[in-house]
Structure 1
Amino acid sequence: MKENKKAVRLRLYQNMVNYKKPTSFQLKESYPLPPYSTVIGMVHSLCDYKEYKEMEVSVQGKYHSKVNDLYTRYEFKNGMKFDPARHQLQVGEFGISRGISTVELLVDVELLIHIIPQDQSLVGEIEKAFLYPREYPSLGRREDIVIIEEVKVVDIFEEELEEDIELREDFTAYIPLNIIKNESIVVDGAEPGIKSRGTRYRVTKDYELVNYGTVKSPKIFRQWNKVDVLYSSRITAIGGETILKDVDNNIILNA
């Protein structure tokens, strides 16, 4: 077994949380687990990083149930003047509509997250940021507070397994498709002719700033880099295959 790198392993709990799907509006739907970009954003916020630090992330966890809740929604159209028959709020000469909408919340969320910075000298900084957070940590919306149950620096290894290792029975995970394709990880319960069962997502990880305007009149937009993943449970790492795991035999499904 050859040592590869170190990772910061987190065990987190959240009471009620929404990891918003960017394409949902009337009902703010939630991803079943936090996207990679959401986790990376939390790390950068707690570490007070002012520029992007390359890192890989593995996200596993579960939730108990879902509920819907109401929230206040504000809408405005660029340049629309205030109209008392249409708008509830006036800002300067412009109008804003205020109403209610619905948000989907996951209840009793437990997460197991591995953070693997490309620059391994950052491991200690990230560990300290979670042991002694500079402000309350949140994951998802600003109000979705995180309870940190464990922070631990662990050695991670690429190792050829002598026997199968199963993910915790009640846990789900994002599995990058490249890991599925090399068949080192399988998902039990698939129908005949189907290698793996689960839900396909294109999960955001990081972004680049792209200018769609001109040099004199720039129009800067975020161009997101996305990872194709399978969201599923009953995950098994196959004996005889080489996988990434930590010293406590936790499978790492990094992207």
Structure 2
Amino acid sequence: MDALRIIIKQNSANYRKEEAMDNKMTYPLPPISTIIGAIHNACNYREYHPMDISIQGKYESMHKEAYTDYCFLNRTMDDRGILVKMANESMLSKGFEKVATSKKQGSDMRTGLEIQVHNAELLEEYRSLKNLNDKIKKFKDTRQKKFLEITKKRKKRLSEKKKKLDKKSDEYKKIAAREKEIKRYENKIKTMVKEFEEENYTKLVSRFRTLTTSLKFYEILNNIELVIHIRSKKETLEDILDNIYNLKSIGRSEDFVEVVEANIVELLENNDCDIESEYSAYLDYNSVINEEIYTKAKAGKRINGTMYYLNKNYKIEDAKRIFNKKKVVYASKYCIEKTSENVLIDRNGKKEYIVNFL
């Protein structure tokens, strides 16, 4: 069986775990989807090319690296953070212009207390909108509220009158028509106020947001060596080989790679053997459970390692990505006694790799 063997080195990398929020934890090796995505990007593929991946490798150490996290709140807060005006209120673009910065807690963007002004014109626009909102609120709490209370009382009196009348009488019909007229007028006032507020305040103020910052951390792996095997159609393997030096990074965009070697190799099948890997790897769970691969298990345990559910590829259903997930065991010091359908051997001179496709 032919496969493409790629040996890669990275000075550092973060293979971010999807569930990590506050601090960006890393997988010990790049996930399957990360490798497939990087390969597709290098080849400029716009559609998925089916492939199976074997991922193994090692790293020297891990450290934490600080970074400043920027978070846009869905509202504005006058006493903290950085007041900004977004380029687009729907956040399709995250471009923004600074308006003012709070110097300390207890500052006030509207009065100018303890703030640093970056754009006086935009700050005045923001204050005008907030002043208008106060007027709208006051109008609702006074004149509109009073009007609605009056109409409520009128509707109640008319309803009580209707109860005493025959539904077929002319007077009943007049009262019912008057009720409808009051309701129409009531709805008209509500709609007018709502539309005025939407057009003159809500839409305009939605472009102003509070930007907050916090110190967070990346987990960074150091001095990484990856051994990746790819099984696919011959044309796809050759295409990847031709474009392998377009592969610039794996993980973050700044996690650059050095492609040490890339060759199409023949994997050994139907072999009895006794091989122990010098690398850690993602191993297919079923291959481990079925004892096609053995891990160094502690007493009373069948296997030893960390279980992950890793994304491989996806399909679009109802405008959503539905991922094909693989159940894997991350383990080191694993060995095989013979090959199987998904567990093969790549012999490179005196070096032998256990290849477990996912």
Q: TM-score scaled by structure 1?
A: 0.85
Which of 264, 270, 273 is matched with 1:159 structurally?
270
| Cα deviation digits, residues 136-167 of structure 1 (max 9, x gap) | 61000111111111111111232231x31111
Which of 275, 294, 299 is matched with 1:192 structurally?
299
Question: What is the identity, as a one-letter code, of the residue corresponding to 2:305?
Answer: G
Offset at 1:86? 4.2
Cα contact 2:306–2:331 (8 A) shared by 1: yes
Distance 1:100 1:207 in 2: 34
Q: 1:145 to 1:164 in 2, by over 3 A?
A: same
Q: 1:191-210 to 2 correspondence within 5 Å?
A: 191-210=298-317
Provide the residue aligned with 2:215 in structure 1. 100
Cα contact 2:12–2:223 (8 A) shared by 1: yes
Larger relative helix fraction:
2
Distance 1:202 1:124 in 2: 30
Q: 1:2-151 to 2 correspondence within 5 Å?
A: 4=1, 6-77=2-73, 80-88=74-82, 89-92=84-87, 93-95=207-209, 96-117=211-232, 119-130=233-244, 132-133=245-246, 137-151=248-262
Distance 2:270 2:356 in 1: 14
Please give the secondary structure, in 1, of the residue aligned with 2:34.
helix
Greater relative contact order (CA < 8 Å, ≥ 6 in sequence)? 2
Identity fraction in percent: 34
Cα contact 2:70–2:213 (8 A) shared by 1: yes
Offset at 1:7? 1.4
| Cα deviation digits, residues 87-116 of structure 1 (max 9, x gap) | 424314132333331111111111111011
| Runs (5+) with no aligned partner, structure 1 | 212-219
Provide the residue aligned with 2:155 in structure 1. none
Larger relative strand fraction:
1
Cα contact 1:11–1:112 (8 A) shared by 2: yes
Cα contact 1:159–1:245 (8 A) shared by 2: no
Distance 1:73 1:221 in 2: 27
Cα contact 1:172–1:231 (8 A) shared by 2: yes
Provide the residue aligned with 1:251 in structure 2. 354
Q: Which has the larger radius of gyration?
A: 2
Q: TM-score scaled by structure 2?
A: 0.61
Question: What is the identity, as a one-letter code, of the residue corresponding to 1:245?
Answer: I
Please give the secondary structure, in 2, of the residue aligned with 1:104.
strand
